[in-house]
Structure 1
Amino acid sequence: MSNGHERKYGNAIFSRYPIIDSNFHYIQELQDPNIQNPDYSKEGRVYIETIIEVDGKKITIATTHMSYTHKFVLTPKKEAETNKMIEILKEKNSNFIFTGDLNSPPDSYTINELSKLLKNAGPTLEQNTWTTKPFSYNGFNADTLNWRLDYCFVTPDIEVKSSQIIDTPYSDHLPILIEF
């Protein structure tokens, strides 16, 4: 609770398989817990991961929701956030699935750095996931599906059977469905 405004939201991983372990890392610290109007550059951001067991095999699944930057332009804070995440991901060599709203287009620093470590699980990066709803913030307006901001990456040992973006009216982002 902060100045009478509750700020409870974040990331979660749900599993029908047994959860063996889970943890999180801040990739951007909360800078102002007293913000009353949304200032997306000051929100804290976390990377979370969960180890599940599927048919006797341990698989690590991770997700994050990276910070929004005006028009998705790289800023020093976004670069630092990306670099913190990359340091965590460098340790992931097998049985690893990483998903998230990275608030970064395919040609961004974030996606280029991720692609050095992990492979895109699909669909192709040309398929857009945002926005299905009108968006207006700080002079940036978008109201059509012109951006790819959501991704799934895996280690090379993970076999992807299929991937698709699902058309749904329930969010401003379209979900990605991956079958392994």
Structure 2
Amino acid sequence: MSSFIDGIRKITNSSHINPDEKICKTCNYKCCTKRFQQNFKSWTSDNNYIDKFIQDTQLSAHRDVKKALEWIPYNKLYNIKHIEENCYVANWIDGNILCWDRKNQIWIRRDQKMIVKLKKLNNPKAITLEFMDEIKIDYVFYGITHDPETKDYMMVLNERCKKCNIVCNAIHFQQNFKNWTS
């Protein structure tokens, strides 16, 4: 038993552990929450309520990065098309966060240039965790953006497929080929 404990001590005392890193008291290691928290000062929505809401989701993420919302700068969206009242479709350059790359100290993202839906937030103060849970029934909620021209705040979402309950290509084919004929 003592050789096992000695092995653990060698790992925890090795040079690849940074003693200056702040450890999350909930997870007992440097989890997603700490990574997000370090980045709080590098972005703002220019709306304190939205900033706090996004930060609260990030502070509750711990090991599940899917729970965290992001502030998504509007210039990270392109090919923006109006599809219905208060609703747009766009490509998101970065794509959503998958996990933290410890070696390179960056977020690994997937689905770069992914198609997302932008839904206008009529009342940014009405967004709550309960509201977010309701949205997540039909959508994957990635974050919030702000159109600098119209001054509108918008949710960045992806629709869930009614058959498989995940984001799948069927949704995008339905949206893009409504008027297609052979």
- TM-score class, shorter-chain normalisation, is under 0.3
Structure with more relative contact order (C-alpha pairs < 8 Å, separation 6 or more): 1
**Under a length normalisation based on structure 1, what TM-score does the superposition of the two structures give?**
0.23
Larger fraction in strand: 1
Larger radius of gyration: 2
**Under a length normalisation based on structure 2, what TM-score does the superposition of the two structures give?**
0.23
Larger fraction in helix: 2
